[in-house]
Structure 1
Amino acid sequence: MDFLRRHGPRVLLTLLPLVLALLHAVGALPIGLLARLDNIVYDARLQATMPRTLDERVVIIDIDERSLAEIGRWPWGRHQLARLTDEVFDRQGAAVLGFDVLFAEPDESSGLRRLRELARDELRDQPAFAQRVRQLEGGLDYDGLFARSLQGRPVVLGYYFTNDSQGRASGVLPAPALPAQRLDGRPIRFTSWSGYGANIERLVAAAPLGGYFNPMVDSDGVVRAVPLLTEFHGRYYESLSLAVFRTLLGLPEVEPVFVPGARGYHALDAVRLRLGDKALDIPVAEGVTVLVPFRGPGGVDGGSFRYISAADVIQGKLAPESLRGKVVLVGTTAPGLKDLRVTPVGEAYAGVEAHANLVSGLLDGRTLVKPDYAVGYDVVVLVLGGLALAALLPALSAARAIGVSALVIAAGVGLNFWLYLSMGLVLPLAAFLAMALTAFALNMSYGYFVESRNKRELAQLFGTYVPPELVDEMVKSPESYSMAATNKELTVMFCDMRGFTRLSEQMEPIQLQALLNRLFTRLTDIIRANRGTIDKYMGDCVMAFWGAPVDTPRHAALAVKTALEMAQAVELVNQEHRAAGLPAIGIGIGLNTGTMCVGDMGSDVRRAYTVIGDEVNLASRLEGLSKFYGGVIVASESTREAAPEFAWQELDKVRVKGKERAVSIFQPLPDAAEADTELNTWAGFLKAWRSQDWPACEALLHGLRAQHGDKALYALYAERLQDMRAQPADPAWDGATNYETK
């Protein structure tokens, strides 16, 4: 709630592009620019990842300009196509032949029909003429010649569907590839048509397997996908690519694969080809479509497939066995025959090569599909990315916001590309990119134009009193800070240096000053690194506090951590001194946690952001006590309770000057693991001490000193124990030590 209070406007501004992107993703508010951008991203990714290698398994027989010049204009007499078919199978040994051309009308180019009419009418009284016509029929029946060449061979004839408003149809459709009953009554969303243009009956009877060559044309006029199966009048037919592939596999049965457990799901998960106990699943998208896995830029010189001029095949110029075991597709690159398409990899791409690419992808098991759950994926990625940006950007500096935004975008793009490369999944990316970039731009604009003025004012106000590290954090939400005095629970530290008198006798003032400055610099760095605010320097003493002006829930723990690190830093300095023959520096630290008054205080001439109150005074008294207990750090019980993650050793119960109530004092131990046994024994000693059980105290203390004889704390209590045993027991004694000095 505090985050929303401080950053609410920026959060809402960051979420705005998320909402718009979600509306686009679910189709409630389609944004054409994003749809075009998704296509651009897909096309660029496809071009960048195409293998650009030759697939020798698929060959294209091209009805090219040279073939038209040598054989004649299209359509050719079907005796020429019979020659082509015989050549492909008899001399070349191809595995399967697919025609990406249509034979919609009978071939009457031989004149046989007119000869028959003459024999039947004008020349019916000349039996010799009629007999001669009958003799010539075998060679002049071009459709018959072509049909006989197709008979019993692995040939797939192409045809097309149309959405003619009148539902016109011509020719004969092949048998459906998928029986309707296998759909189990599910209303699968197939691509549907109202009419068709198919091959003549004689050819279909000779080569009953056929496949439509309709592509899917996107709104921008680009062919990116092909429906693998399609629906016409309740029957389900296969594409030319699938029919060729099935023929190559031995005509496996076609089965639908439904999403498990999704009875109301109106799309197929995959198309399964089953042959005996073997099955192959081909993932499909909405409309039972697959994206064409283009191998390269296309064309005769594209390097993806071998192109052979149809004239060379018909004229027998091809070396025998050149097509042994190949998949052969017959199509055209001649511009006049109008089978050139706009694709992501070329603006004049031969339609036959699109089928060749899909056959190649099916052979490799390398198909691309935009799954039906793409919308759900888009929504999940948008929500995760958008919420992450909304939660992080408002609280970050410009540099870090750039880093976080780049990381979020990189994660989304990386996941998208990984799914594409590893699984062939084509998932939307444009909405995510637009959302992330817009969210970043709006957030930074708001921060620059709206918040920067408030931040500059806050930096000017606090910069004199507060460390720059905390000012940088404060300017993220300037409205939350002021210089007004307030009562807060804080932890305050007093740190005093000892031993400078002896040093002053051995060092010049300038050297002593440099030493003191160097030491304070080390200690200051430690305080700042642990989010402390340095209140003031007082001679050889430094005062700091935690928890203001920036709220710090773990202020006590950070203060204790700082004190331990400061003690280590002074020990390192002493090691340097011992090496140089200089006396060691002592240090005393007092810590207290409690409610204090913090704010901008002072006179009109000089002011400071500081803390005052009884709890501050207690910390100062505890710092002075450290020299009596032989340690470096003395902390109050309230600090120990606020930082339970440290190991603590109770030192005493004391009554300091200006306090009527006795307080327990503690020291944190740097190595808790080695202190467990010692602490348990020491706790027993203090219990015996406060109950004036001197024999028990002596026994426990003897054991402690035997193991830790050099510890000043135990030596102190040994002296006290001798004094206490010489005095009679005091029923009113509360176990506290009274100190009257500061």
Structure 2
Amino acid sequence: MALKLSFSIFSHVGFKRYLARASLAILTTLGVLGHVAGMYEVPYIDQIENLLYDTRVRLTAPGGTDDRIVIVAIDEASLQAHGHWPFTREKFADMMNNLWDYGTAVVAFDVLFAERDESADVDLLRVLAEQEGDEAFRQKLDAFEPLIDRDRLFAESMQNGPTILGYYFDSNEETAFETGQLPFPGFELHESMMESVYLPRGAGFSSTLPVLMDSAYTAGFINNPLIDPDGVVRRTPLLHEFELGVYESLSLATAATFMNDISIPVFVDASTWMGDYPPLEGLEIAGTGARIPIDPQGAVLVPFRGPAGSFPYVSIGEVISGTVEDPGVFDGRIALIGGTAPGMEDLRTTPFGSIYPGVEVHANVIAGILDNSFRWEPAYTAAAEMITVAAFGLLSALLLPLLSPVISTLVTAVLGLAALAVNFYMWDVVQHVLPLAMTLYTLFAIYTINMLFGYFFETRSRSHMDSLFGQYVPPDLVKEMSRDPENYSLASQKRELSVLFTDIRGFTTISEGLDAGELSDLMDEYLTPMTRIVHESLGTIDKYIGDAVMAFWGAPVFHPHHADQAVGAGMAMLEALDELNVDFQKKGWPEIKIGVGINTGMMSVGNMGSKFRKAYTVLGDAVNLGSRLEGITKMYGVSFVVSEDTAHSAGRFVYRELDKVRVKGKDHGVTILEPLGLEEEVDPEVIDRARQFKHFLFLYRSQEWGPAEEMLHKLLENEPDCFLYKLYLDRIAHFRENPPGEDWDGVFTFQTK
């Protein structure tokens, strides 16, 4: 059943049109795969991808406040309370001492201390001592100067607990220089690995004073060379290479210190089977075994908890002065010192907006390390994206050309939702960030190609079909034909069809009683609803022959139930005529009556005529019989006559058999019947009388004139004005005087058309 349905749809669409659409869609998919493979770039895709990434970050951020990390903010209030930036190291020493008193576990600085904090008072005293030549005073000054050395005071305060300092690397060889002292690298690389390790590489650095670095637990770099081209911070490196040494970021160093552990690089030997696959694929926290996935550049996607303010903030001024309202907020926590004041130029753009403190970016990364909650883009992400694009692209490329526009829209929407579901599963469950833009772009592009192709093709086809069949068939039928024009032509062919003829009785008398204008109006009001009925039943108007209408069903669009359609149209015409006569009476026009004849059989259909004029019409004996049937309706006093072939094909209706006739020019008799209506709508008494009349015909053809006549009289009791019954009474009287002979076949022969 499924194969049969598929074949039917495929043949309807047409192989050539399907192949054109599918090929164009497959080429589009291949073009998208070229972008994914890095062969070229499709404009604006990166921007769309970033937008989709930012949206997913915002929608899935856990929210809430993580109180394990407290941000000690260098804010506007602290600048007003303690003077301009930078503060003296003495103030930082006071801050450190208070933080240790509060029970802080780790203190980390998103701040650079590259210069000494020189005391202007000491410098002035030394100048005076030199000028006066007071050697004793100078010796005392040398003895007391260490006691008022602010850098030393700050350094000594660090030694009371684990302190992480900040520094940064400069990757620009033209501007880079080296100042300060670097911490020991986390690990070192061999020169042979430099071609396959893609960590950010420093050409120089600006680090902390040696006196401070020597007192600190360790240090981490605070710069981020991996900000996206649109200026948004989405990822940040945990590792940085400098002269074969690999250094930890402030976030990594702080988290490892807080966990009292170290990070170990995870290498994979991929040289023999994965080509350029980077050997460094992660970091492992030694004590817990938790693995931090990193990309080829040693970076992680920042696991944003939410918008700015997702961590508790305390003003640095309050910590320096020891006036923190709730010191318990620091107990056992990480204190992260960084600038939040606008003038300190440490505000970043993130998926949550353009005003996001850089220090809170570090806090998010630290929390991600503590929770091991990083989403990641491994080196095989491009391959995974190619598989996804190819799968959805080929599925839509092969499927959409088979479907109507509405179904194509629904299927594309379903495929889009499926792509979103797969992507969200990878994002939320597997923690794998699979690019989404190119998959959606592929679906949209293939959908658009099919819609545009269908629109232009259908417009052209509809115009062509309209020029061929527009004058014969209704617009809806032309639209259906335009979907598959290869199956329709004006060429003549043999086909079983049903043909209908109607004619106004006494039209000559009617036309003589009306002037030309009234006659034209009457014909217009009569032919319009008749034509509409033909069109609504999917019939084809062959021609108007004066007051007569000729129509047929089953061509140019084949329908297996064309006989049902034709009989239904004939019944509808008679019903419409009753309403028309009411309007005609109001206008003073004469009442009109029509005869309807229908036959079903093999006919020649096509564009026929001469070189000067052609028409799409039907020809053949079956057509001629249909015309004869309309002509003999008045002979039996009925409005509607069909042949036995039509009645057999249109089995939904109830019929009354009228006679067996031999029309002029034919040797064989044909059973003719009168349609009474749909079986479920006809009165049971009417059906019963039709059965009685059929029994009468049996008696009549058996030449049992007495019983036949008796049955007719019984039928006349219920229908005293029935012309048909009186017709047969006259025939019986005739045959009694002129017996037809023993070889009579019961067929009545008409000598005229």
TM-score (norm 2): 0.61
CA, structure 1 residues 400+86, in 2 after alignment: closer, same or farther (shift >3 Å)?
A: same
Match for residue 256 of structure 1?
A: 266
Q: For residues 466-513 of structure 1, what are the alpha-carbon distances to aligned partners after superposition, in whole Å with 9 as ceiling and x for unaligned?
A: 9x999999764432555768999xxx9xxxxxxxxxxxxxxxxxxxxx
SS at match of 1:8: helix
State how many pairs are aligned: 517
Q: How far apart are the structure 1 equivalents of 2:173 and 2:336?
A: 31
Deviation at 1:465, TM superposition (A): 13
Match for residue 184 of structure 2?
A: 175
Q: How far apart are the structure 2 equivalents of 1:458 and 1:160?
A: 74
- Matched to 2:44, the amino acid is L
SS at match of 2:328: coil
Deviation at 1:175, TM superposition (A): 0.9
Q: 2:445 pairs with 438, 450, 466, which one?
A: 438
Is 2:374 aligned against 1:348? no
Is 2:214 aligned against 1:199? no
Match for residue 125 of structure 1?
A: 134
Q: For residues 78-133 of structure 1, what are the alpha-carbon distances to aligned partners after superposition, in whole Å with 9 as ceiling and x for unaligned?
A: 111111111111x21111111000000111136445545655x3355341453255
- Matched to 2:362, the amino acid is H
Is 2:189 aligned against 1:189? no
CA, structure 1 residues 126+538, in 2 after alignment: closer, same or farther (shift >3 Å)?
A: closer
Structure 1 unmatched runs, 5+:
493-520, 522-527, 542-596, 612-623, 625-742
Match for residue 95 of structure 1?
A: 105
Q: 2:71 pairs with 60, 68, 72, which one?
A: 60
Match for residue 151 of structure 2?
A: 143
Deviation at 1:359, TM superposition (A): 1.1
Q: How far apart are the structure 2 equivalents of 1:72 and 1:388?
A: 66
Q: 2:402 pairs with 395, 401, 422, which one?
A: 395
Match for residue 273 of structure 1?
A: 284
Q: How far apart are the structure 1 equivalents of 2:39 and 2:168?
A: 34
SS at match of 1:444: helix
- Matched to 2:316, the amino acid is A
Q: For residues 14-35 of structure 1, what are the alpha-carbon distances to aligned partners after superposition, in whole Å with 9 as ceiling and x for unaligned?
A: 3343233222222222134111
CA, structure 1 residues 103+32, in 2 after alignment: closer, same or farther (shift >3 Å)?
A: farther
Deviation at 1:451, TM superposition (A): 2.7
- Matched to 1:258, the amino acid is V
Q: How far apart are the structure 1 equivalents of 2:202 and 2:373?
A: 28
Structural RMSD (CA): 4.1
Residue correspondence of structure 1 range 234-245 to structure 2 within 5 A:
234-245=244-255
Match for residue 13 of structure 1?
A: 24
- Matched to 1:387, the amino acid is L
Q: How far apart are the structure 2 equivalents of 1:257 and 1:487?
A: 78
SS at match of 1:230: strand
Q: How far apart are the structure 1 equivalents of 2:396 and 2:454?
A: 14
CA, structure 1 residues 480+198, in 2 after alignment: closer, same or farther (shift >3 Å)?
A: farther
Is 2:72 aligned against 1:46? no
Q: For residues 559-604 of structure 1, what are the alpha-carbon distances to aligned partners after superposition, in whole Å with 9 as ceiling and x for unaligned?
A: xxxxxxxxxxxxxxxxxxxxxxxxxxxxxxxxxxxxxx99958999
Match for residue 552 of structure 1?
A: none
Deviation at 1:179, TM superposition (A): 2.8
* % identical equivalent positions: 34
SS at match of 2:234: strand
- Matched to 1:422, the amino acid is V
CA, structure 1 residues 183+422, in 2 after alignment: closer, same or farther (shift >3 Å)?
A: farther
Deviation at 1:188, TM superposition (A): 1.6
CA, structure 1 residues 598+240, in 2 after alignment: closer, same or farther (shift >3 Å)?
A: farther
SS at match of 1:231: strand
Deviation at 1:65, TM superposition (A): 1.2
Q: For residues 34-57 of structure 1, what are the alpha-carbon distances to aligned partners after superposition, in whole Å with 9 as ceiling and x for unaligned?
A: 111111111122122222311111
Q: 2:311 pairs with 305, 313, 317, which one?
A: 305
Q: How far apart are the structure 1 equivalents of 2:92 and 2:619?
A: 100
Q: How far apart are the structure 2 equivalents of 1:534 and 1:330?
A: 83
Residues 462 and 479, structure 2, Cα contact 8 Å, conserved in 1: no
Match for residue 377 of structure 2?
A: 370
CA, structure 1 residues 340+272, in 2 after alignment: closer, same or farther (shift >3 Å)?
A: same
Match for residue 289 of structure 1?
A: 299
Q: 1:30 pairs with 33, 38, 41, which one?
A: 41
Q: 2:235 pairs with 188, 212, 225, which one?
A: 225
Match for residue 329 of structure 2?
A: 322
Q: How far apart are the structure 1 equivalents of 2:149 and 2:43?
A: 54
Deviation at 1:176, TM superposition (A): 0.8
Q: How far apart are the structure 1 equivalents of 2:320 and 2:394?
A: 65
Q: How far apart are the structure 2 equivalents of 1:279 and 1:40?
A: 34
Deviation at 1:462, TM superposition (A): 9.7
Q: For residues 619-672 of structure 1, what are the alpha-carbon distances to aligned partners after superposition, in whole Å with 9 as ceiling and x for unaligned?
A: xxxxx9xxxxxxxxxxxxxxxxxxxxxxxxxxxxxxxxxxxxxxxxxxxxxxxx
Q: How far apart are the structure 2 equivalents of 1:242 and 1:233?
A: 20
Residues 173 and 203, structure 2, Cα contact 8 Å, conserved in 1: yes
Residues 281 and 296, structure 2, Cα contact 8 Å, conserved in 1: no
Residues 223 and 344, structure 1, Cα contact 8 Å, conserved in 2: yes
Q: How far apart are the structure 2 equivalents of 1:129 and 1:188?
A: 56
Residues 342 and 348, structure 1, Cα contact 8 Å, conserved in 2: yes
Deviation at 1:253, TM superposition (A): 3.6
Deviation at 1:165, TM superposition (A): 2.9
- Matched to 1:159, the amino acid is Y
Deviation at 1:438, TM superposition (A): 2.2
Q: How far apart are the structure 1 equivalents of 2:462 and 2:421?
A: 36
Residues 6 and 480, structure 1, Cα contact 8 Å, conserved in 2: no
- Matched to 1:104, the amino acid is A
Structure 2 unmatched runs, 5+:
1-9, 497-536, 538-553, 568-601, 609-614, 623-647, 649-753
Q: How far apart are the structure 1 equivalents of 2:402 and 2:427?
A: 34
SS at match of 1:74: coil
Is 2:461 aligned against 1:454? yes
CA, structure 1 residues 382+464, in 2 after alignment: closer, same or farther (shift >3 Å)?
A: farther
Residues 237 and 300, structure 2, Cα contact 8 Å, conserved in 1: yes
Deviation at 1:459, TM superposition (A): 9.4
TM-score (norm 1): 0.62
Match for residue 213 of structure 1?
A: 222
Residues 182 and 256, structure 1, Cα contact 8 Å, conserved in 2: no
CA, structure 1 residues 49+143, in 2 after alignment: closer, same or farther (shift >3 Å)?
A: same
- Matched to 1:187, the amino acid is S
Residues 126 and 138, structure 2, Cα contact 8 Å, conserved in 1: no
Q: How far apart are the structure 1 equivalents of 2:445 and 2:370?
A: 42
Residue correspondence of structure 1 range 293-692 to structure 2 within 5 A:
293-298=303-308, 302=309, 304-318=310-324, 319-454=326-461, 476-480=483-487, 534=560, 537=563, 607=618
CA, structure 1 residues 381+460, in 2 after alignment: closer, same or farther (shift >3 Å)?
A: farther
Q: How far apart are the structure 2 equivalents of 1:28 and 1:148?
A: 57
SS at match of 1:271: strand
Residues 385 and 408, structure 1, Cα contact 8 Å, conserved in 2: yes
Residues 462 and 478, structure 2, Cα contact 8 Å, conserved in 1: no
Q: For residues 693-741 of structure 1, what are the alpha-carbon distances to aligned partners after superposition, in whole Å with 9 as ceiling and x for unaligned?
A: xxxxxxxxxxxxxxxxxxxxxxxxxxxxxxxxxxxxxxxxxxxxxxxxx
Q: How far apart are the structure 1 equivalents of 2:163 and 2:619?
A: 94
- Matched to 1:389, the amino acid is S
Residues 269 and 283, structure 1, Cα contact 8 Å, conserved in 2: no
Q: How far apart are the structure 2 equivalents of 1:128 and 1:452?
A: 104
CA, structure 1 residues 286+238, in 2 after alignment: closer, same or farther (shift >3 Å)?
A: same
- Matched to 1:180, the amino acid is L
CA, structure 1 residues 360+325, in 2 after alignment: closer, same or farther (shift >3 Å)?
A: same
Q: How far apart are the structure 2 equivalents of 1:182 and 1:171?
A: 25
Q: How far apart are the structure 1 equivalents of 2:37 and 2:434?
A: 14
